[in-house]
Amino acid sequence: MTAAPDGELRWAPGRPVPVARTLRGLRRGAGDPTFRADPDGTVWRATRTPEGPALLRVRARPGDAEVEAQAWGPGTAWVLDGVPELLGAADDTWDEFVPRPEHPALVEAWRAHPHWRVGRTRAVFEALSASALEQVVTGVEAFAAWRRLVQRFGEPAPGPAGLRLPPTPQQWTRIPSWEWLQAGVELRRRKVTILAAPRAGGLEKTLAMAPEAADTALRSLTGVGVWTSAEVRQRAHGHADAFSFGDYHVAKDVSWALTGEVLDDAGCAQVIECYRGHRFRVQQLLRFAGAARPRRGPRMTLPTHTPNRAVRSLRVRGG
């Protein structure tokens, strides 16, 4: 590191904290310009806060039973104050979760990850703008769009990591239409971010709402459906029940891991109803365990309606 941090924090949570695993879901693809994970488990994250931009560096110190964090930029105090919640301190329903013995894959995953908690970034618009790009396209396409738009229209993050900040709400609205198209983003998806941008400040109020109320508020936005609301609440709100209904793969993979059958959203919903309040927790634990149904059919055909065709793999998201 070549620049002294503007603030530091030591947090002793009373449990081991799997920092890299907890924060992995915030990374939008391997080339995400806002996120870096080092081989030693240190995570760097560039974000915008109500107090200004910030770069956060977080790592566990197992020998001291602590988490160490440093931050740079005007948003230093805000991001450091939020480190415990970012790493799951607000996930106060974990102790209520007990997987059923008839779901051995889930039992095994739960035992393998006893210290993982659902974290929350408190950055609602940031999560929404990224999730909007992932609607009804492959993961490779969505991550490529995020990478290109952040690199072109974001700004260098403060501090030494060489990361970039995501665009501000105002900057998102000023991106020319041809730049969206060059990034592979058609009108339907970009309208979600453009129309939400003027309400970005109000979106943060959903953090204080009950999960159902926050879901309703988010889905009142044009283009935000069940899937997008869940993706936002998983990351920004830390809602342990925000299951990714509407995803092309998730319900099929979860139902197969729990029952040995590949079911659609409706069928999966019946299977995981017994875990209501923890359905996203179930989703993530099974993901950590690598639970995925066997893939025997041909790959889906990739769309060809936008200029960006540099794609090689598949993960179709919901709306």
- Residue 305 pLDDT class (50, 70, 90 cuts): very low
- Assess whether pLDDT exceeds 60 at residue 307: no
In tens, the pLDDT along 113-135 reads: 999 999 999 999 999 999 999 99
pLDDT at 318: 65
pLDDT at 258: 98
If you write DSSP's letter for every residue of the chain in order, what string do you get? Answer: --S--SEEEEE--SS---HHHHHGGG--STT-TTEEE-TTS-EEEEEEETTEEEEEEEEEEGGGTEEEEEEESTTHHHHHHTHHHHTTTT-TTGGG----TT-HHHHHHHHH-TT--------HHHHHHHHHHTTTS-HHHHHHHHHHHHHHHSEEPSSSS--EEPPPHHHHHTS-HHHHHHTT--HHHHHHHHHHGGGHHHHGGGGGS-HHHHHHHHHTSTT--HHHHHHHIIIII--TT---TT-SSHHHHHHHHHHSS---HHHHHHHHGGGTT-HHHHHHHHHHTT------SPPPPPP-SSS-----S------
In tens, the pLDDT along 35-48 reads: 999 999 999 999 99
In tens, the pLDDT along 309-318 reads: 433 333 456 6
In tens, the pLDDT along 279-296 reads: 999 999 999 999 888 876
Model pTM? Answer: 0.91
Topology adopted by domain 93-319: Endonuclease III; domain 1 (1.10.340)
pLDDT averaged over every residue in the chain: 92
- Assess whether pLDDT exceeds 70 at residue 110: yes
